[in-house]
Chains A and B, each alone.
Chain A
Amino acid sequence: KNEVEQSPQNLTAQEGEFITINCSYSVGISALHWLQQHPGGGIVSLFMLSSGKKKHGRLIATINIQEKHSSLHITASHPRDSAVYICAVRSGGGADGLTFGKGTHLIIQP
């Protein structure tokens, strides 16, 4: 079973700061997902990666398959970015559901 570790667990930053959240996993994967869970509980899929880098607005996600590591970056952070960010991996073969990290609780202060 894949072990998914996220760091940091909690992060408080000032508005405008550059944010980095890290995710590492133990076994080769077919895809890695970054999810955002809002304070109300809803979950939104931000990115799905199998290689390289993706960008959407102020969010950037990268993955290094050899090192089994992914990062989620937020540029020019804003209080509305405050949420829990969850890394999840799909193991190879397409036969498994997602295995989740514990999440990073991000607070952006104005």
Chain B
Amino acid sequence: AQTVTQSQPEMSVQEAETVTLSCTYDTSESDYYLFWYKQPPSRQMILVIRQEAYKQQNATENRFSVNFQKAAKSFSLKISDSQLGDAAMYFCAYRSGDTLAGSYQLTFGKGTKLSVIP
């Protein structure tokens, strides 16, 4: 079974600064997808960024980028120019790429609570 580990329960960052959230995962599969979801106090789960394991290039979405290290099974999220609205819980998630098994569910880490200091 796959596992996802987020070793930082809480992080803080000064507004306009950069912060990196860590995520490691364990899998024996070679084909899979990785995601970062944001959960603000409203409870809504919002996709921040996704990465396909077969792609070597790191995904980027505006101020959000990832550092995907497949051999190390590491998938960190970098938030640049942090804004007050970035304050939330951030969850790293894994999804199998095995189409035959049809494993479309997400396996989540425990989350990192990010605070943004004005």
Do A and B come from the same complex? Answer: no
